[in-house]
Amino acid sequence: MSNMLLNAGMLGILEEFCLDYTKKIYGRQIANKLKMNQKTVSNIFNRLEKDGVLKYSTEGKNKYYFLNMLNPQIKDIIKMLEIARKNKFIEKHAQLKDLFYALERRATGILVIFGSYAKFTNKKESDLDVFVAGSMEEIEDLENLYKIKINAIKSSKEKINKNDIFVKEVIKNHIIIKGVEEFVEAIWQA
C-alpha cells in the first residue's frame, strides 16, 4: 500500500470498511451501493488483496472481502480513511465548518458526529448528534449562533464497548471530528 495511490473508487470502497472494521463485503453489493461498474469493483478488490490491505473468503459463488487485520499497517490505513471521511463530511457541510471546528476546540478526548448528519440524511431542521469520550465545554452559545440543536452524549474512553447498543450505532455511522487515533484504538480494543 505504501506506493499505491488511492483513486476515488478505491477510497469509496475502503471507506465502507470504516463503518465496521470487521465487515465482509462482496463485489455486487458494493457496486450497487456506490453505483460503480462491477468489473471496476472487482479490479479494485483484487488490487487491494494483492497489496495486503484486504483478504477474502469464499461463500458459495461470492467472494467476501474484509480488512486484513494481520497487516501491521491496517490501523494506519483506517486512520487515513477516517480523516478522508472527515474532510469529505466538512466539505459537504461547509456552512457548518466553523461550528465543527468550534466543537473540536471545546472537546477534550474523542469527538464523533453520528446520526442523520453522519449518514448524510440530515435535513435543515435536524439535530446534530455528537458523542464525546472525554469532556466538553458548554455549547449553548454555539447552538444559538448556528441555530442548531446539538445533542451531546458524553462518556469516557474506558467505557467504549463494541457490544453496547449505543456504541454499535455510533460505530455504524460516524464521522470522527477529533481523536481519530484514540477512537480507532478504542474500537480496536473494545
pLDDT score, position 5: 57
Backbone angles phi and psi of 136, in degrees to 5: -145, 135
Ranges assigned E (strand) in 39-127? 54-59, 62-67, 107-114
Q: Against a cut of 0.85, is the pTM above it?
A: yes
- Bridge partners of 146, per DSSP, are none
Contact 63, 26 (CB under 8 A): yes
Kindly provide the residue ranges of all beta strands, DSSP E only, lying in 12-166, ordered along the sequence. 25-26, 54-59, 62-67, 107-114, 128-136, 150-155
Q: What is the pLDDT of residue 2?
A: 44
- In this predicted structure, what is the pLDDT of residue 109? 95
- pLDDT at 20 (0 to 100): 87
pLDDT at 35: 94
| Domains of the chain and any CATH numbers | 8-67 (1.10.10.10), 94-189 (3.30.460)
Q: Residue ranges of the chain with pLDDT lower than 50?
A: 1-3
Beta bridge partners of 128: 150
